[in-house]
Amino acid sequence: MSSRIERKIPVTMATQHPDHANVPYWKKNGDAFINTQEEIEECISAFRDLHCQEYMWDWEGKYVDEAVVDKLLSSYYDFFKRIHLGKDVFLTFRLPNIWHEKGYRLARAYMGILTFEDLTADLGFTHPPVFEVILPMTDEAKKLIHLQKTFGQVAQLKHAAFGNRKGIEYLRVIPLIEGISELTGSRKILHDYLELHEKEYGTRPDYLRPFIARSDPPLNAGLVPAVVAAKIALSEYYKFEEESGVPVFPIIGVGSLPFRGGLSPDRVEDFLAEYSGVRTVTIQSAYRYDYPLKDVKRSLQYLNHNLEKGRPRIYSPEEIKEGEVLSELFTKYYQHTVEGLAGMINSFSKNIPQRRERMLHIGLFGYSRGIGGKRLPRAIGFTAVLYSLGVPPELIGTGRGLREAQERGLTHALKGFYHNLEKDLILAGHYLNKENLNFLAKKSAPWRSVKKDVEAIEKFLGRELGPETVEHYLHRNLVSSAYLLYQSGKAPHDRILEAAKIRRSIG
């Protein structure tokens, strides 16, 4: 079916994910930490220097500059007279999920969206600068409608109270779907939303941008289930488009390391082969700041011109059942092992360098993530810990899962879902430090299980995992030092950071 709509759909979405190791190219003070005030400069640089087409302004679990549009237009007016915000480039708010995090800032985000439009109208701009928001952890369609209804109510109150021009009252909402089961069942969320939207507004939305989380799900289920769930969700969105007639433009949230999605300047073609059919990709901090700037620009230009050409693979109901079996199979090994490692992961995570002004995910200000009853760092910190120990998380549960998948005749199905499986395991395996893993395995049964994973992966690949290049060996030496310093009660921060620079991502 035709997917023609009136607006431009952005391809590359720069985000504020704090996964970079190096100092951003636009910073003059040599400090890799990005404070809230500096995110304005980061945003304009993403638009002007890198030609990213969208920037996610994150209100979820972090401090935020609420005057973002005022500052962008006052400081960079000449740029935005040529490249219009809301027409040529886009600022998209990721809102707090009020069902998981207190809603103190939701009303402030709403008022910002409404007053930004007043400002831009007074300046002679014709498009609202913010008209679309992301709802993280979407699990029910009614929550999307709730945001739209409450925004409309606030818009009407503002107009009644201040009596100025009547502006935007309808807010577009992007469902960010994060859990494995929510992703595989996400076609139902879209159909439910369509039905509720017709009841509430008497019309259907003219398009949807469903957002696949690829970075967070592996924290809870492991590498393979996260890939399988993302591929099923992508297929389901296009089935929804066929059934409903509503065009879909799927977004996928990915980091640079394979565990968090595997999109980096040097692996763009692999990524496009894996996630064909995606229409927008997140360009996180490590992608932008941990690679040579010329490579970053060239790869973004390639994405901007080629992403939309990809055609999705549509999976049959039988294939989806096989995918769900695979997910359950790999998840059981991963979850049981990570629950046993949680104590050490949390302890070691205190040494990981921070890159943004995040709120603590406790009490009134947020929520924690974890497995079973065990709390864990969020995905970037979790990935950083395991790479810094020399045991990439891609390996955990994967070897035993592969062995069982082979025994059950599911290897062909697995390769149908995960095109880059062998490449990703080899890439992650270059950062495996077997000496550290042997030390850890002497003390703990869960680490001994990871050793079994490594052996099974090596058998599956027909090759050993470990360093190959000079950089890989330097990384191995740095994480050996980091582990020994940690064991002796000394701070391993410098080694952790240097290793992160070598692999071009903190986590």
- Domain for residue 454, yes or no? yes
- Measured between its terminal Cα atoms, the distance across the chain in Å is 39
- Domain for residue 66, yes or no? no
**Which pLDDT does position 1 carry in this prediction?**
40
Give strand pairing partners of 62.
358
**Which pLDDT does position 5 carry in this prediction?**
87
- Domain for residue 493, yes or no? yes
- Domain for residue 331, yes or no? yes
Tens digits of residue pLDDT in 238-287? 999 999 999 999 999 999 999 999 999 999 999 999 999 999 999 999 99
- Domain for residue 494, yes or no? yes
- Domain for residue 348, yes or no? yes
Tens digits of residue pLDDT in 436-461? 999 999 999 999 999 999 999 999 99
Question: In the chain, how long is the greatest CA-to-CA distance?
Answer: 72
Residue with the bigger pLDDT between 372 and 493: it is 493
Alpha-carbon distance of 35 to 16, in angstroms, equals: 11
- Domain for residue 27, yes or no? no
Query: Does the pLDDT at position 361 exceed 80?
Result: no
Q: Is residue 296 within 8 Å of 504, Cβ to Cβ?
A: no
**Which pLDDT does position 198 carry in this prediction?**
98
Tens digits of residue pLDDT in 84-139? 999 999 999 999 888 776 667 798 999 999 999 999 999 999 999 999 999 999 99
Question: Residue 368: which pLDDT band, with cuts at 50, 70 and 90?
Answer: low
Tokens of 373: 């009853």
Mean pLDDT of 368-376: 73
Question: Residue 375: which pLDDT band, with cuts at 50, 70 and 90?
Answer: confident
Kindly state the DSSP code that residue 408 receives in the 8-state scheme.
T
Output the average pLDDT for the chain: 94
**3-class SS at 265?**
coil
Tens digits of residue pLDDT in 382-398? 999 999 999 999 999 99
Beta strands 172-177 and 12-14 are unpaired
Query: Does the pLDDT at position 209 exceed 90?
Result: yes
Tens digits of residue pLDDT in 337-349? 999 999 999 999 9
Instruction: Give one DSSP letter per residue of 217-260, joined into a string.
Output: HHHHH-HHHHHHHHHHHHHHHHHHHHHH---B--EEE--SSGGG
- Domain around 457: 317-503
The count of structural domains within the chain is 1
- Domain for residue 242, yes or no? no
**Which pLDDT does position 369 carry in this prediction?**
61
**Which pLDDT does position 105 carry in this prediction?**
79
**Which pLDDT does position 4 carry in this prediction?**
66
Question: Residue 359: which pLDDT band, with cuts at 50, 70 and 90?
Answer: low
Nearest to 169 by CA among 147, 193, 151: 151
Q: Is residue 46 within 8 Å of 287, Cβ to Cβ?
A: no
